[in-house]
A and B are shown apart, each in its own frame.
Chain A
Amino acid sequence: EVQLVESGGGLVQPGGSLRLSCVASGFTFSNNYMDWVRQAPGKGLEWVGQIRNKAQGYTTEYAASVKGRFTISRDDSNNSLYLQMNSLRIEDTAVYYCGDMGAVIGNYWGQGTLVTVSS
């Protein structure tokens, strides 16, 4: 069974930093491209970014809204995905989900972790 468990969310002041983690199990994590998606309170879903696998050089893609502020990385030896968030803004307040949002035939959504940016 695919399981994705996010952690690291919390309250942070505008301009601050936070690092989210996502631990995967139940599938061969190292093969998958992995994504972060977020959902602001009461709003829809917004794709944040993707990191490809080793075969694709761990290359990354980002949404324009986070490019230059957020960095996605992974540690395949620990089945872990990370989202380093810097220069946080109030509008980054959201539940952050990790998962595989690509062509995978399966449900690869984590349960989410809440990030609140507020003074």
Chain B
Amino acid sequence: DIQMTQSPSSLSASVGDRVTITCRASQGIWSHLAWSQQKPGKAPERLISAASTLLSGVPSRFSGSGSGTEFTLTISSLQPEDFATYYCQQYNSFPYTFGQGTKLEIK
């Protein structure tokens, strides 16, 4: 199985900060990676597919990059509604696997 490791596991930041979350795959997954956001008590919502394709309706302050084994999600200027948990997920091979999540909290 491909192991997805996110860092950090939690992060405190302020409104307006630039933050970066890293996701590492235990083996190469090309660009077969998605990022999803989950707010408390809600279902996850996908933000990015194919490592860097921003989905329709997702604010442009979100961006994704990387390929192979190392990927990043960057939020250029944090807004109050961005405080949530973020998950990376590989869909290169079965079983699909998720990172453990990064909880983004208000400082």
- Which residues of chain A have a CB within 8 Å of any CB of chain B? 35, 44-47, 50, 61-64, 97, 101-112
Contact = CB atoms under 8 A, between A and B. Distances in A.
B55 A47 contact: no
A45 B99 CA distance: 8
A35 B50 CA distance: 18
B98 interface: yes
Identify whether the interface residues of B are mostly helix, strand, loop, or mixed.
Answer: loop
B89 interface: yes
Contact of A106 (B32, B56, B95, B99): B56
15 contacts: A44-B87, A45-B89, A47-B89, A47-B95, A47-B97, A50-B94, A101-B34, A101-B89, A102-B96, A103-B50, A105-B55, A106-B46, A106-B49, A107-B46, A108-B46
Given A103-B50, A104-B49, A107-B55, A35 B43 contact: no
A44 B95 contact: no
Interface in B47-106: 49-50, 53, 55-56, 87, 89, 91, 94-101
Interface of B: 32, 34, 36, 43-46, 49-50, 53, 55-56, 87, 89, 91, 94-101
Contact of A101 (B43, B50, B91, B100): B91
Contacts of B96: 35, 47, 50, 101-102
Identify whether the interface residues of A are mostly helix, strand, loop, or mixed.
Answer: loop
B43 A64 contact: no
Contacts of B53: 105
